[in-house]
Structure 1
Amino acid sequence: MDFYYSPRSSGSRTIIMVAKALGLELNKKQLRITEGEHLKPEFLKLNPQHTIPTLVDNGFAIWESRAIAVYLVEKYGKDDSLFPNDPQKRALINQRLYFDMGTLHDSFMKYYYPFIRTGQLGNVENYKKIEAAFEFLDIFLEGQDYVAGSQLTVADIAILSSVSTFEVVEFDISKYPNVARWYANAKKITPGWDENWKGLLQMKTMEAIHYTNQFWSCPPSNNTQITEMDFYYSPRGSGCRTVIMVAKALGLELNKKLVNTLESEQLKPEFVKLNPQHTIPTLVDNGFSIWESRAIAVYLIEQYAKDDTLFPKDPKKQALVNQRLYFDMGTLYDSFAKYYYPLFRTGKSGSDEDFKKIESSFEYLNIFLEGQNYVAGDHLTVADIAILSSVSTFDIFDFDLTKYPNVARWYANAKKVTPGWEENWNGLLELKAVFEARLAAAKQ
């Protein structure tokens, strides 16, 4: 296995620790980002997003550290301890992995990365996001020795990589007693910790180098299944629409509970008890509470699907689906949020740089779909459904998809073959109406 990495990157260190836990030997190939080695044609053939870490296992290329980590565990683990087969346990791990990417590590990037590039830290709001991320993690660890269950899992390893990155920049972890307790133990019991720390010390000494953000990072039967699932949502939310389409594909009936975020219903104590991050969508399945749309989607498939069509069990196929799901969250939808969300708050869109990130995201997606009818394999998967939700959100804002012919071709087909498309579109029309109303009010 060829492993393209940097010892300083959080994702790379995650994989090193996972490999150590599995007793795997990686053929490490260090890439010098500052010299543009990740942009060389031979690397772009392996990973058109040109990110590290990237793993090539006997010709199979996969990137995004959390997708790689799960792939290695499922392919080479002697048991399922690091990523259990039980759907509820998996869902919790997946939620923590998405939390790590979209909340915890993202807060590090927002506050500390500007210092690496410009010598100045992020603003006060950026720092508050770090504190909020650790407060959430502290809640998750209340009465728990591990972040997702009763034993060490891949989620602990990924979050250990992130938390240790905060430690090396001297963030005060002691303010969060549950995190501090977990962290002290995790350092002792996680294989590969020493190499993780060495990489962090290298990062700390690289004061004069300016990095870029690239451094780090046939449907089932329609027969309705009766379940006791409460689904807290808004029809306008992209993640909510993803789950609705997945449930439709599985023939599941959701007990929908509309959450009016404009009136802060997500902050009510009874909802915070279900989801301390107070985000939607949130699913409660017979007392089991899970949030983050992609984690919910995979949970529903693993728990209720009659086959593995939407989320294959084959480790390579599953890794590709996971990579696309993380791409959707961290690149594609993130670019939408950066550029279009300010319109809702201020009436003005994001910057030209923010728009360029949208274009870059669609260029990547266009590459992924070269010669492909689906985003992750030869048939519809949960990755198509999640990305369909995101791409259709761009569509409602009149983003020009025709500039990306592979995406346009895929999108036209996905709208036809994905169950629940009509409800997805109806939610988008509501979103557009809210947006237009706010713009009209801003002009008065």
Structure 2
Amino acid sequence: MDFYYAPRGSGCRTVIMVTKALGLELNKKLVNTTEREHLKPEFLELNPQHTIPTLVDNGFSIWESRAIAVYLVEKYGKDDSLFPKDPKKQAVVNQRLNFDLGTLYESFVKYYFPLIRTGTPGSDEDFKKVETSFGFLDTFLKGQEYVAGDHLTVADISILATVSTFDIFKFDLSKYSNVARWYANAKKVTPGWDENWSGLLELKALFEAPLLNMDLYNMAGSPSTRAVIMTAKAVGVELNSINVNTFVGEQLKPEFVKINPQHTIPTLVDNGFVVWETRAIVVYLVEQYAKDDSLYPKDPQKQALINQRLYFDMGTLYEAIAKYFFPLLRTGKPGTPENFEKLNVAFNLLNTFLEGQDYVAGNQLSVADIVILATVSTTEMVDFDLKKFPNVERWYKNAQKITPGWDENLKRIENAKKFLAENLIDKL
């Protein structure tokens, strides 16, 4: 079962908890809506409404979290306890599910979504609708442990996902004694609560982060773009990704040349401040937004070593990869044997730098690791054996585990690899 989702989403968290209750495993596929991945043709084929969560179960595609939850119970449940077959009991569960979607969750959207986007919540009238919704829920729970009957159902799980979202935004649940009592118990008895809370913490971090207006002009699969994205993840900032298709010359359009007269990508525009060249961007992001200097220390000697590795990446390692592998994009054939030899020399140098070390510059993760990780991971797109360079291979495996944003980096590589394969068919 493929599950297209975002961990912060209430509906996505509902489905995750239901699958935990059923003992099912999901093949989770992260969908980055900020980069409009939900609008890609391949996703629209699965769900023309382009919403998440979306479940694909052996070719059967279904979306809307409450529909997914009911489907999973009816298809895979060992009994009907989560969604009773008795018409009256089922009707109550359905009423609560519709109440959650059309009243409770809708009140959250109206009041809190503007707060996430603009820093200002909805109107006083919107907040009154929140209070009214909780008043209804409090009434439903009078003298009951569960929202629809005498045991846990999908209605409890769906409403738990919603109520816990209000909790993250510090809505005072204590004013609704029945809801507060139910909530305390639901957290204990609902499978998957921990994963639900983990997704909420991501939402909280996004909410508490300073409002930024950073545009990253980029090309999705490029190592340089991936390096910037991983660095942004490491310092906890969100980027507004704007794709620039260099294959059709979009970087030469007057509006882009006005931003960057060198017309290169990636280019970052941070509230009017423009900077380009990957290594300059990553250092800027750390110095401007990181909570400490661990990724780019202020100590002159430590900083010098990181700078050396960054220049090595740009002038030697990345240059060698570009000379040997990038012709594949244009001609379907790699570079010359001489180019391949330079590639091996570059990796041998990196292998030497990593002798007896876990990181490329010092004893902790730095922007040098992140940038070089983006470069080295490009070899995932082609046939290149890292085993010839044992120190690099060891570092590479560890860097994947500890570098924020690795999953997105790998996903972009896989998409680029797919693009490369599809386009090479026509070239070869």
Match of 2:257 in 1: 272
Determine whether 1:354 maps to 2:339: yes
Q: CA deviation at 1:396?
A: 2.3
* 1:38-437 aligned within 5 A: 223-224=205-206, 225=209, 226-437=211-422
Question: How far apart are the structure 2 equivalents of 1:231 and 1:302?
Answer: 17
| 3-state SS of 1:317 partner | helix
Q: Deviations over 1:388-441 (max 9, x none)?
A: 000000132121001111000000000000000011111111211122122210
Moved over 6 A (4+): none
Which segments of 5 or more consecutive residues in structure 1 lack a partner in the other structure?
A: 1-220
Question: How far apart are the structure 2 equivalents of 1:348 and 1:392?
Answer: 20
Q: CA deviation at 1:235?
A: 1.5
| 3-state SS of 1:325 partner | helix
Q: CA deviation at 1:267?
A: 1.0
Question: How far apart are the structure 2 equivalents of 1:343 and 1:396?
Answer: 11
| 3-state SS of 2:238 partner | coil
Q: CA deviation at 1:374?
A: 0.2
Q: TM-score, normalised by structure 1?
A: 0.49
Query: 1:230·1:285 contact (CA, 8 Å) conserved in 2?
Result: yes
Question: How far apart are the structure 1 equivalents of 2:407 and 2:383?
Answer: 18
Match of 2:81 in 1: none
Query: 1:389·1:424 contact (CA, 8 Å) conserved in 2?
Result: yes
| 3-state SS of 1:232 partner | strand
Which segments of 5 or more consecutive residues in structure 2 lack a partner in the other structure?
A: 1-200
Question: How far apart are the structure 2 equivalents of 1:395 and 1:260?
Answer: 22
Question: How far apart are the structure 1 equivalents of 2:221 and 2:380?
Answer: 14
Question: How far apart are the structure 2 equivalents of 1:283 and 1:428?
Answer: 21
Q: Deviations over 1:186-236 (max 9, x none)?
A: xxxxxxxxxxxxxxxxxxxxxxxxxxxxxxxxxxx9844331111111221
Query: 1:395·1:401 contact (CA, 8 Å) conserved in 2?
Result: no
Question: How far apart are the structure 1 equivalents of 2:380 and 2:404?
Answer: 18
Question: How far apart are the structure 2 equivalents of 1:342 and 1:234?
Answer: 17
| 3-state SS of 1:376 partner | coil
Query: 2:380·2:413 contact (CA, 8 Å) conserved in 1?
Result: no
Question: How far apart are the structure 1 equivalents of 2:251 and 2:233?
Answer: 25
| 3-state SS of 1:290 partner | strand
| 3-state SS of 2:268 partner | strand
Q: CA deviation at 1:442?
A: 1.4
Question: How far apart are the structure 2 equivalents of 1:354 and 1:348?
Answer: 12
Structure 2 letter corresponding to 1:259: V
Structure 1 letter corresponding to 2:286: I
| 3-state SS of 1:284 partner | strand
* 1:4-43 aligned within 5 A: none
Q: Which has the larger radius of gyration?
A: 2
Query: With CA pairs under 8 Å and 6+ residues apart, which has the higher RCO, 1 or 2?
Result: 1
Identity in percent? 60
Question: How far apart are the structure 2 equivalents of 1:398 and 1:378?
Answer: 31
Give aligned pairs, total.
Answer: 223
Question: How far apart are the structure 2 equivalents of 1:350 and 1:257?
Answer: 30
